[in-house]
Amino acid sequence: MGSFSILETARSTPERIVTNQDLTKVMDTSDEWIKRRTGISERHISQA
C-alpha cells in the first residue's frame, strides 16, 4: 500500500440559518422539544 498525507483542510459555513423557531412554523413541534432531544437550536443550510 502506498503512503499518503493530508495536504490541506477547509470548511465552509452556509449563510442561510434555520432556527428551531422557524421549524415550528411548518411542523407540529416546539423549540424546547427539539433542543431537549437533539441539543440543536439552529442549523446552517446550503443552497444550490
Structural domain boundaries of the chain?
16-45
Element holding 5 (H helix, E strand): none
- Residue 47 is predicted with a pLDDT of 87
pLDDT tens per residue, the chain (48 residues)? 789 999 999 999 999 999 999 999 999 999 999 999 999 999 999 987
State how far the Cα of 46 lies from the Cα of 12, in Å rounded to an integer: 10
Q: Is pTM beyond 0.85 here?
A: no
State how far the Cα of 43 lies from the Cα of 35, in Å rounded to an integer: 12
Phi, psi of 23 (to 5 degrees): -65, -30
User: Half-sphere exposure of 7 toward its Cβ, with a 13 Å CA cutoff?
Assistant: 2
Phi, psi of 44 (to 5 degrees): -95, 130
